[in-house]
Amino acid sequence: MAPDPTAPRPVEPPSVPPLPTPLLATPGGRPTLPALPPLPPPRSGEDLAGVDESTWLDVIQKMDEVYSQLVADEVALEEKNAQLEQSQRFIFSLLTAMSDVLAACNSAGEIEETNAALCELVGRDERSLRGSPLAALMADAASAARIRHVLDTPALQRGGTVVEVELLDAQGQRVPVDFNGTPRFDAGGRRVGVVFVGRPMGELKRAYHQLRETHEALKRTQQQLLHSEKMASLGRLVAGVAHELNNPISFVLGNVHALGRYSERLRSYLGAIHAGAAPEALADMRRRLRIDHLLADLPSLMEGTLEGAQRTADIVNGLKRFSAKDRGELAPVDLNGVIERAVHWVQKGTAPAFVVHWRSGSPCPVLGSAGQLLQVLMNLIQNAYDAASALRRADGSPPTLWIEGHCDGPLARLTFRDNGPGIADEHLSRLFDPFFTTKPPGKGTGLGLSISYGIVEQHGGRLLAGNHAEGGAEFVLELPLAPDSGAATSASAASA
């Protein structure tokens, strides 16, 4: 029977385009989206009766939206996985770069995480260390007990608790380590273990020991150099003292020899008198022994001897006054007397041809130590002579020093100017540095000006250096005046 052309025909569902293949699982075992289930078989025409084309389009659109969301979720998951891997690599690089040993333990004291420093120290790999008790790495029972005490302390400070232990290294040697144990908490704030971070102290202690030995050696060297500088100053002082003492001692020695000869004559003459010699013989003997001349010369001999002895005593007393042990106490000191003594010793000692223009003025008492100030002034005067004598002048003038002084308010100011070559600009900033010297090797230690600078600072004064406009070096010394000194006039003046 032929079909009725007027009867209704079933509606054919529109063709559905195939969905794209979902993303497969990525390497590394990360979670992936499950594959979409297969489409159900098309229903019969009766089941799809009344479903028009727009309905199918809506279904397809919804499926596209679901698939797009799945793709977006997959991309976001990939980004999170990449960030997680980057964070893990960063944490691993930090653990590897740490020079301190690290052990993250659980509440039972078992190692859950460590770093390369601990592995290298104990000679074990990270896999064998995980799960092993940290106390088992200790060198003795006392160190293990300290670790367990930190683990068992319930109220452990968040700032950490320092514990000193000893570990056994890869060679079986005991290595002291200072551990800092800090509590570790989970996301809920519950304590789940302790993190120990420590530094092996063996190398640090060896470095500290070497540093201490180097420091002690440096102190000994510094003391030797200071002693050398003091001995150099003492040598110049002794040279001046020897020259100063030579004259009165020679004078006294000559007089003593003369008195010895006179005493022999008197003994002979008195012996003849006691022997009852005839008057004519005594008169002849008196004339021959020059007894009358001897008696007339005795008062002058005694007076000269006493004068020489007194000069020697004055020199010795001056040395005792200026070389007395410094007790750190400052007292009023007449600056004029110290300058005169310093000039005298330098000229008598090493610089007999040194011309110094200085005239003592009214008393100018400063607050200080006479011995230390003498050392400063002798150093400045000696340096001026060394600099001036090193320069050959066309006019043939001798090495010369001008010393000028005056009181400026509460300060006494002294200026030392020589006729030497002056100070090079590149040396001005280093002039008072320890061990800096422009003298040839063996001629100076480089400590004279440095020591002088320190002494002046201890006295509350200043020591400045520069070049004079007319040539030569110029040093300015400022010292505080003694209280109630009343000094307001010129302390000295220079005479050309």
Domain assignment present for residue 281? The answer is no
Tokens of 46: 């009766």
Determine which helix (DSSP H) or strand (DSSP E) holds 406, and give its type and residue range: strand 400-408
Identify the bridge partners of residue 165 per DSSP, sorted by sequence position: 177
Computed over every residue of the chain, the mean pLDDT equals 78
Non-local CB neighbours of 464 within 8 Å, separated by 6+ positions: 475, 476, 478
* CATH number of the domain encompassing residue 415: 3.30.565.10
Q: Are residue 200 and residue 328 in the same domain, yes or no?
A: no
120-145 average pLDDT score: 92
pLDDT at 492: 40
Q: Are residue 63 and residue 189 in the same domain, yes or no?
A: no
Q: Are residue 188 and residue 332 in the same domain, yes or no?
A: no
Q: Are residue 81 and residue 100 in the same domain, yes or no?
A: no
Domain assignment present for residue 389? The answer is yes
Q: Which of 40, 75, 93 is the last residue of a domain?
A: 93
- Could you give the maximum distance between any two Cα atoms of the chain, in Å? 212
Q: Are residue 471 and residue 342 in the same domain, yes or no?
A: yes
Q: Which amino acid is at 92?
A: F
Instruction: Give the pLDDT band of residue 106 (cuts 50, 70, 90).
Output: very high
Q: Which amino acid is at 108?
A: A
pLDDT of residue 57 exceeding 50, the answer is yes
Q: Which of 188, 205, 222 is the last residue of a domain?
A: 205
Q: Are residue 351 and residue 471 in the same domain, yes or no?
A: yes
Per cent of the chain over pLDDT 70 is 77
Each residue's pLDDT tens digit, 340-354: 888 887 877 666 778
36-47 average pLDDT score: 54
Domain assignment present for residue 268? The answer is no
pLDDT at 88: 79
Q: Which of 152, 173, 205 is the last residue of a domain?
A: 205
4-15 average pLDDT score: 48
Domain assignment present for residue 302? The answer is no
Q: Are residue 58 and residue 105 in the same domain, yes or no?
A: no
Q: Are residue 118 and residue 70 in the same domain, yes or no?
A: no
Q: What is the number of structural domains in the chain? A: 3
The overall pTM is greater than 0.75: no
Domain assignment present for residue 47? The answer is no
Q: Which residue has the tokens 């990270």?
A: 126
Domain assignment present for residue 158? The answer is yes
pLDDT of residue 471 exceeding 60, the answer is yes
Each residue's pLDDT tens digit, 294-341: 888 888 888 878 877 887 777 677 666 555 545 556 788 888 888 888
Lowest mean pLDDT among 383-387, 422-426, 472-476, 481-485: 481-485
pLDDT at 355: 87
Lowest mean pLDDT among 21-25, 187-191, 432-436: 21-25
Instruction: Give the pLDDT band of residue 46 (cuts 50, 70, 90).
Output: low
Domain span at residue 365 reads 324-493
Burial category of 217 from C-beta neighbours within 10 Å (exposed 0-12, middle 13-18, buried 19 and up): exposed
Each residue's pLDDT tens digit, 231-280: 666 666 666 666 667 767 877 888 888 888 888 888 888 888 888 888 88
Neighbour tally for 247: CB within 10 Å = 12
Give per-residue burial for 67-94: e unless 16+ CB within 10 Å, then b: eeeeeeebeeeeeeeeeeeeeeeeeeee
Domain assignment present for residue 59? The answer is yes
pLDDT at 20: 46
Greater model confidence, 3 or 439: 439
Domain assignment present for residue 261? The answer is no
Each residue's pLDDT tens digit, 221-244: 777 766 666 666 666 666 666 666
Say if CB 336 and CB 491 are below 8 A apart: yes
Q: Are residue 83 and residue 130 in the same domain, yes or no?
A: no
Q: Are residue 101 and residue 132 in the same domain, yes or no?
A: yes
Neighbour tally for 30: CB within 10 Å = 13
Length of the chain counted residue by residue? 496
Q: Are residue 383 and residue 461 in the same domain, yes or no?
A: yes
369-385 average pLDDT score: 85
Lowest mean pLDDT among 3-17, 91-105, 310-324, 403-417: 3-17
pLDDT at 51: 65
Q: Are residue 481 and residue 398 in the same domain, yes or no?
A: yes
* CATH number of the domain encompassing residue 179: 3.30.450.20
